[in-house]
Amino acid sequence: MASQAIIECTSYSSEVIKTYDIFVSFRGEDTRNNFIGFLFQALRSKGIDAFKDDEDLKKGESIAPELLQAIQGSRIFIAVFSKNYAFSTWCLRELAEICKCVKTSRRSVVPIFYDVDPSEVRKQSGCYKKAFAEHEERFKEDKEKMEEVQRWREALTHVGNLSGWDIRNNLPNDDLVGIESRVEELANLLCLESMNEVRVVGISGMGGIGKTTLARALHERISHQYDIHCIIDDVSKIYRDSSSVGVQKQLLSQTLKEKNLEICNAFEGTCLAWTRLRNARALIVLDNVDEVEQLRMFTGNRNTMLRELLGGGSRIIIISRDEHVLRTHGVDDVYKVQPLNEENAVQLFCRNAFKVNFILSEYEKLARDVLSHAQGHPLAIEVIGSSLYGRNASQWKSALGRLKDNKSGNIMNVLRLSFDQLDVGDREIFLDIACFLNGYHEKFVKEVLNFRGFQPEYGVQLLLDKSLINIEYENIEMHSLLRDLGRCIVREKSPKEPIKWSRLWDNQDLRNALLDNQVKLIV
């Protein structure tokens, strides 16, 4: 690992004690929220003092005195070359100054090639060629600037020829299929570069779709940037068991790193939060929130909301299956997690079913049947794929046959939580859509539900908020797993006696029910 080798480099002695152990030159928009974050976290954990620049210092045409002092006062230099590094005149000025220091002292510079070929750096080809074409066009009338551009080229060639680390396609969380694009999208909603505001973003989506996985992946990448950070699991359960005091205790215990923290009541917890957390720059994840009341964890007129307590630059992520809870709380934006696309669904299934990244030829059709059933649902893909690992084709066919009638309990139990939280009338609407109305036009569905004596305007919107249905091209659409859940619920009390079911949607079940009724009438 590059960071480990860099850490070892700092053990070498130096003739002069410098201000910083390491100065890192990097392009923030390429690397700040992923590799660079992990690098600085690793360095700090080993007690290594590394200078991390502030974007506010990068103004004007010359290097700010603070940056110049940091470069001149560092023992070792790291240059993280990424795709857009050479487009930044600031990065190039830093590199030129680093090379000047290396030539005049016994210090060294370590290159890291982050998702870019080392030859592009030392030859200024590819994206680096494009960057220099822009610089030369911009400065072509200024002789001194053109001489500076030439020094930039020489610096890139020199450092690009040094032995370093090529970490292309070696990102954190590489084992989490489809996570990269989702983390980036969520990070964009959080506006991480804004240091003044406190921003709150919600994550919603159906059960098992990957909401918690996404939040944890982002937390892992950026938590080192905050004064305090925490993830509170299952806020709903904590609140049910011990009210707002329990949520306060979890929040304060984690952020203050005090395991045996005692809080007698909500007022005491509010006072402690006001004293210890006020104006702190924090990253807080609140998982599985199902009621707005669970987010009102503080008492009194001031700081009744967490966002009002924390300092500028803080970020709060709230995870809930119910988008209405998030909107009611007043989140700044909501990220709705969608099913995996076909490419990622295939990759995830293959990793679980075959332990490789491709479908084995003799299982092609069977695998496609599974993926069609799962419709991009990560939990379903993992559970079904793992259950099929090591089985032969005949066993696959048998397992898929059983899936039609006996759904995996691991999957259904996760999905059922949302159904169980519905009121009686809304459960009936859910079951009607699952059994009969999936795929029909919204207007028609509401007409049928209204005829059935329900309140479809409110009920349909509630199911939308809870991610139990979607509306696509004005049609009501329910995920196949949720449809299966509804039908399982209808059948569960008398699975072999369709005449006792509240709904019949299959022709064979209808015939059997009619036949059973005729037999009973005769008897």
Cα 468 to Cα 482: distance, rounded to the nearest angstrom:
7
> Would you state the structure tokens that stand for residue 17, as one six-digit string?
């004690």
Residues 111 and 162 sit within 8 Å (Cβ to Cβ): yes
Describe the strand order of the beta sheet including 50-51 as a list of residue ranges.
Answer: 50-51, 20-25, 74-81, 108-113, 165-166
Residue type, 339: P
Q: Which residues are catalytic?
A: 94
> Would you state the structure tokens that stand for residue 166, as one six-digit string?
């090529």
Cα 52 to Cα 95: distance, rounded to the nearest angstrom:
15
b/e for 253-285, b at 16 or more Cβ within 10 A? Answer: bbbbeeeebebeebeebbebbeeebeebbbbbb
Describe the strand order of the beta sheet including 199-204 as a list of residue ranges.
Answer: 228-232, 282-286, 315-319, 199-204, 333-336
- Name the nearest CA neighbour of 94 among 131, 125, 52: 52
Contacts 24+ apart (CB under 8 A), 63-67: 63/90, 63/93, 63/94, 63/97, 67/94
> Would you state the structure tokens that stand for residue 522, as one six-digit string?
């005769």
